[in-house]
Amino acid sequence: MTRIVHVNGQFLPEDQAVVSVFDRGFLMADGVYEVTSVLGGKLIDFAGHCARLARSLAELEMQNPHTDAEWLDLHRELVARNGVVDGMVYLQVTRGNPGDRDFAYPGADTRPTVVLFTQSKPGLAENPAARTGWRVISIPDLRWGRRDIKTVQLLYPSMAKMAARKAQVDDAWFVEDGAVTEGTSNNAYIVKGHRIITRHLSEDILHGITRAAVIRLAREAQMEVVERPFTIAEAKEADEAFVTSASAFVMPVVEVDGAMIGKGTPGPVVARLREIYLEEMRKSAI
């Protein structure tokens, strides 16, 4: 089946969907994105992703081309047209095509470019990696200073992912001023003595939608969550570690820079958080 994608109001077979060579997303990475998971044909934490999209656009002084209700319709229609049961909807908004290349933002007559596509991942929530956990390496955080805006400037995270691959591990954790900021495409946590520790929100990290839900659910389950920076040395001494993202959900981390974390296998706190998160998100999916 040919995948149907959405471009600027049209649903098209993927090989017929095009964006201009002058699009600022292409020339300047002048665009933002969101990834919403789909489980059982329904959208996970959609309201959170819509709210962050609006914030990213506002931070870049870009118009939001749709209302939340319109975004929801677009997501649902794309999921239905592609028969997605489990997977993701990728959404990108760029500052559009001003017809030439210029550093200055174009005027309001340049419409944003809107692209959405689905990625089908049957059994997404049953990812076998959750049973064994990820191994990570640390790498200096050389990204720009507004990581709270979800832009499509993903070259450094891609380089970090390749460094992880070369080291034959699953991911990399960024380190700045001696502390972990986040993973290449996820938020990072350690667990020490039943206390869950994760970096506080600032411009240094992406404000993960999964992070917000996991912290809320952990606190509701009477678990203690402390939002502060932690070091790689602390991670090596931790009982458990994990990452969160819309597509990996809650993923155990069992090794950092070659050192085993805890027993080197996914621990009970992370397993419980993953269970609670998936249960609650399936319940509230729309």
Footprint on this chain of ligand PMP (rule: CB under 6 A): 35, 182, 185-187, 206, 208-211, 244-246
Nearer to ligand PMP, 55 or 272 (CB): 55
Q: How far is the CB of 169 from ligand PMP (least distance, A)?
A: 17
| Catalytic residue from among 42, 150, 166, 192 | 150
Angstrom distance (rounded) from CA 275 to CA 185? 21
Residue that is written with structure tokens 């003595």 in the block: 193
Q: How far apart are CA 241 and CA 135, in angstroms?
A: 10
Residue 4 or residue 124: which is nearer to ligand PMP going by CB?
A: 124
Separation between Cα atoms, residue 216 and residue 211, nearest integer Å: 8
Question: Which of 137, 125, 123 is CA-nearest to residue 180?
Answer: 137
Helix, strand, or coil here: 249?
Answer: strand
Q: Any catalytic annotation for residue 283?
A: no
User: Would you say 79 or 214 has its CB closer to ligand PMP?
Assistant: 214
CB of 117 to ligand PMP, least distance (A): 16
Beta carbon of residue 206, minimum distance to ligand PMP (angstroms, whole number): 4
H/E element, 35: strand 31-39
> How would you write 52-76 as a 3-class SS string?
HHHHHHHHCCCCCCCCHHHHHHHHH
Measured from the CB of residue 123, what is the shortest distance to ligand PMP in angstroms?
A: 19
Tokens describing residue 93: 């908004």
Nearer to ligand PMP, 4 or 276 (CB): 276
Other C-beta atoms lying within 10 Å of the C-beta of residue 175: 16
Residues tagged active-site:
150
